[in-house]
Structures are given as C-alpha cells and as structure tokens.
C-alpha cells in the first residue's frame, strides 16, 4: 500500500512538472499529503514495536503510564518498558495488591505480540506492542509519572472516596461512572444489567461531560476575570478534567473541541463548528494516526 501511494505521488509530481499544467497542482498537493500520512502511519507501526523481547520468560522493569483499569478479579495495567528495552505493554495481573499510575514495577513472565483482529487493532491504536497475562509482579517504587497527573488522580481518588462513604456500594459505583467514567467498582452482574437495559452510554465519558465542565468553568471564571484570563483558566480546567479521567480518544477529542469553541466564542466566530471539528480531528490524527483506521468512534 505504501509503495502504491509512493508511486501515485511521484507520478503526480512528474505530470505536474512535465506538462506544466495547473490542473495537476491540486492532484500533486493531495498526493503529497496522502504520502506524508502513509509515511506517518508506517512509522507508528515501528514505534509500537520498538524493542520488546517476545517469546520467552523475562524479568523486566517498567513504569505504569496510565491509570489501571480494575474489575472484580483482575486489573489491567499499561507499562512502558525501562532500558535496555523500549515499548508499551498491556499486563493483566491479580486484583490485589492494587497498582497506581507512576508505579515502577518488576514483572516476570512471557511477553506475547498483540493478537490479530479487532482487539489487536485496538491495542495497536493505543500504542501497545505486547501483552502479558498474570506475571509475577513486584512494586519497586512510586511517583515516576507526571507530577500534575499524579495530583489530579489523587484528587480523583478523594472524590471517589467521598462518594463511597456517602452512598451505598452500587449507587456509589454508578455515580463514579457518571462523573468520572470510572467503572472499576462495577460488578459483573451490574455491567450485564446495564448492557441489557442499554444504559452503558451514561457512564461513557464524551462531549456531553466536557460541555458540562466547559460551561461550569466559563460561568465561574467569566464572572470575575477578563475574557483572555477566563479562556486560559477554562482551558486549563478542561485539560485537567481530560487528564484526570484518563485522556481517552473520545474525551481528548471533546476536550480539544471544547477549548477551540471557547476560543471562538471569546475571540472570533464561535458558531463555525465545522472548522473546530476538522482542526480537532487533524490534531488527533497527527498525534496518533491509528485513530483514523481503528477507532470506530472517531
């Protein structure tokens, strides 16, 4: 595929220069953009599988670079390997002890390539190059992630703790899902009941949640500050919420759109949603080209 795109790109350039016709200029520009996109997509594959030792049991260290996902019997942690290795892994381990974002861990187990099919494509889209199932895992130390994100996740933990103390177990779990997109306390029966009733969307973070955060931030800051400062603080508020809730593609996309809409409302034409949508999509594709192919929600 990459060779075909390269051939089309080169042919369009030759036609444009040989015939000296302006009609070929749009074709050349379009082919050049497609060529750069294919090149970027190809490099994304190389980056995913940078230096991961597959096929044998290894004792390896790595840092948990995302908030773990919990269920009743296990937890899924995303680990960035430490030197001399390089790459990201999805590691399934026992439910307890619980690990956290920024933990440096050592594990002993076999690393396998991501499986084929839709699940493998999803993992590659998440920039994960290998999977490990229930290795021996030991915590070495904590606090190796972003200080800002550690503080935000700590605040999220305080909110979750307050909700758990105030409400019954299932009500607290549901409220955490609605507010923070955190479904770690959901039991399997509760998940199944939500799927059967078609209500899983209420715990899926999306643009609706971001719009509430953006409106609340604007309402708060615009009452006391000038437009420029209100925009800066509102944007920081949205970014903090995106980081605190895991920065999934859907939430990140909604966050970018929210910030750009605020900018348009304050400094330009805030009703032109088409440009906001296009620029948000472009930013996400540049950051991770796989969302264009493997993210159905995109």
What are 86's strand-pairing partners?
A: 51
pLDDT reported for residue 11: 59
Q: Mapping DSSP to helix (H, G, I), strand (E, B) and coil, where does residue 185 land? A: coil
pLDDT band at 2 (very low <50, low <70, confident <90, very high): very low
Query: Do residue 72 and residue 101 come from a single domain?
Result: yes
This prediction has a pTM of 0.72
Dist. CA 101–CA 284, nearest whole Å:
23
Residues 42 and 62 in one domain: no
Tell me the pLDDT tens digit for each residue of 46-79. 555 667 888 888 889 999 998 898 887 899 999 9
Give per-residue burial for 170-191: e unless 16+ CB within 10 Å, then b.
eebbbbbbebbbbbbbbeeebe
131 and 67 share a domain? yes
The H-assigned helical ranges of 198-272 are 207-222, 227-244, 249-267
Question: 99 and 82, same structural domain?
Answer: yes
> Looking at the structure, do residues 290 and 212 belong to the same domain, yes or no?
yes
Count CB atoms within 10 A of the CB of residue 102.
20
Give the chain's domain count: 4
Whether the per-residue pLDDT at 200 is higher than 50: the answer is: yes
Residue 22 in this model has a pLDDT that exceeds 60: no
User: Which of 126, 141, 156 corresponds to the end of one domain?
Assistant: 141
Q: What is the mean pLDDT of residues 74-93?
A: 91
- The 10s digit of each residue's pLDDT in 213-258 is 788 888 888 888 888 888 888 889 888 888 888 777 777 877 887 8
- What mean pLDDT is predicted for residues 161-171? 86
Residues 249 and 286 in one domain: yes
Lowest mean pLDDT across 25-39, 187-201, 238-252: 25-39
- Residues 96, 119: one domain? yes
Q: Are residues 23 and 70 in the same domain?
A: no
Together in a domain, 22 and 95: no
Torsion of CA 91, 144, 237, 283, to 10 degrees: -60
Tokens of 50: 């940078």
Structural domain range at position 66:
57-141
Domain boundary among 88, 110, 141: 141
Say whether both 232 and 264 belong to one domain: yes
pLDDT exceeds 70 at position 30 = no
- The CATH number given to whatever domain includes residue 132 is 2.40.50
Q: Are residues 153 and 131 in the same domain?
A: no
293 pLDDT more than 70 = no
CB 191 within 8 A of CB 203: no
pLDDT tens, residue by residue, 118-152:
888 788 878 888 999 999 999 999 989 888 888 88
| Residue that finishes a domain, picked among 113, 141, 169 | 141
Give all strands (DSSP E) within 40-188, no chain letters: 57-64, 69-70, 74-81, 88-94, 104-110, 112-113, 130-133, 136-141
């Amino acid at each position: 595929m990459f060779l075909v795109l390269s051939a089309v790109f080169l042919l369009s350039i030759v036609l444009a220069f040989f015939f000296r016709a302006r009609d070929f200029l749009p074709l050349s520009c379009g082919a050049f953009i497609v060529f750069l996109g294919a090149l970027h997509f190809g490099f994304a594959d190389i980056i995913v599988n940078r230096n991961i030792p597959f096929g044998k049991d290894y004792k390896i260290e790595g840092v948990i670079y995302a908030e773990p996902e919990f269920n009743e019997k296990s937890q899924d942690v995303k680990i960035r390997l430490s030197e001399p290795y390089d790459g990201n892994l999805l590691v399934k381990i026992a439910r307890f002890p619980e690990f956290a974002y920024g933990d440096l861990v050592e594990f002993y187990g076999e690393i396998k390539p991501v499986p084929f099919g839709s699940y493998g494509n999803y993992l590659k889209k998440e920039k994960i190059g290998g999977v490990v199932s229930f290795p021996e895992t030991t915590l070495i130390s904590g606090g190796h992630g972003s200080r800002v994100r550690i503080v935000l996740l700590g605040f999220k933990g305080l909110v979750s703790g307050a909700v758990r103390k105030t409400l019954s177990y299932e009500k607290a779990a549901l409220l955490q899902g609605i507010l923070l997109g955190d479904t770690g306390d959901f039991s399997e029966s509760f998940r199944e009941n939500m799927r059967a009733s078609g209500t899983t969307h209420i715990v899926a973070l999306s643009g609706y949640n971001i719009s509430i955060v953006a409106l609340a931030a604007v309402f708060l800051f615009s009452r006391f500050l000038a437009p420029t400062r209100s925009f800066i603080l509102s944007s920081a508020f949205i970014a903090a919420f995106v980081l605190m809730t895991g920065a999934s593609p859907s939430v990140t996309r909604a966050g970018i759109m929210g910030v750009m809409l605020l900018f348009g409302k304050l400094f330009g034409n805030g009703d032109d949603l088409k440009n906001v949508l296009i620029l948000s999509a472009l930013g996400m594709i540049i950051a991770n080209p796989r969302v264009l192919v493997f993210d159905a929600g995109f």
